[in-house]
Amino acid sequence: LSSRFPFYYEVKMAFVIWLLSPNTRGASLLYRRFVHPTLARKEKDIDAFLIRARERGYETVLRFGKRGLNLAATAAVQAATKSQGALAGRLRSFSMQDLRSLPEQ
C-alpha cells in the first residue's frame, strides 16, 4: 500500500496527530460533521435494533437455560439409575447367609 501512495505513513501520522491534537480538535470536528448527524438520522432504527437484540438475548438465555436444566436433570436421573442398579447388583451378590450375619441396627 505504501508503494502506491508516496508518503503514506507520513500522511497517516499527520492525520492521527490532527485527530488527537487539542488545538485542532480534529476528532471532535469529524464527530460533529459526520458521525452525529448520521446517528441522529438513524436513531429510531438503532433503538428498534437494540430492542430486538435485547428480546432475542432474553429468548436465547431462556432457551439455553432450559436446555441446561434438562441436561442436568437427565444426568441426575441417569446417575441415580446407575447407582441404584449398582446397589441392587451389589445386594444380589450377597447370599442370604451373608445378609443374616450382618449386625442388626
Tens digits of per-residue pLDDT, 22-40? Answer: 998 999 999 999 999 999 9
Q: How far apart are CA 20 and CA 13, in angstroms?
A: 11
| Helix (H/G/I), strand (E/B), else coil: 79 | helix
Residue with cell 429468548: 59
Q: Which pLDDT score is estimated for 77?
A: 82
Virtual torsion, Cα 41, 46, 51, 52, nearest 10 deg: 120
CB 25, CB 32: distance < 8 Å: no
> What does the domain layout of the chain look like in residue ranges?
25-99
CB 8, CB 15: distance < 8 Å: no
- pTM metric for this prediction: 0.47
Tens digits of per-residue pLDDT, 38-56? Answer: 999 999 999 999 999 999 9
Tens digits of per-residue pLDDT, 49-102? Answer: 999 999 999 999 999 999 988 888 888 888 877 776 666 666 566 566 665 666
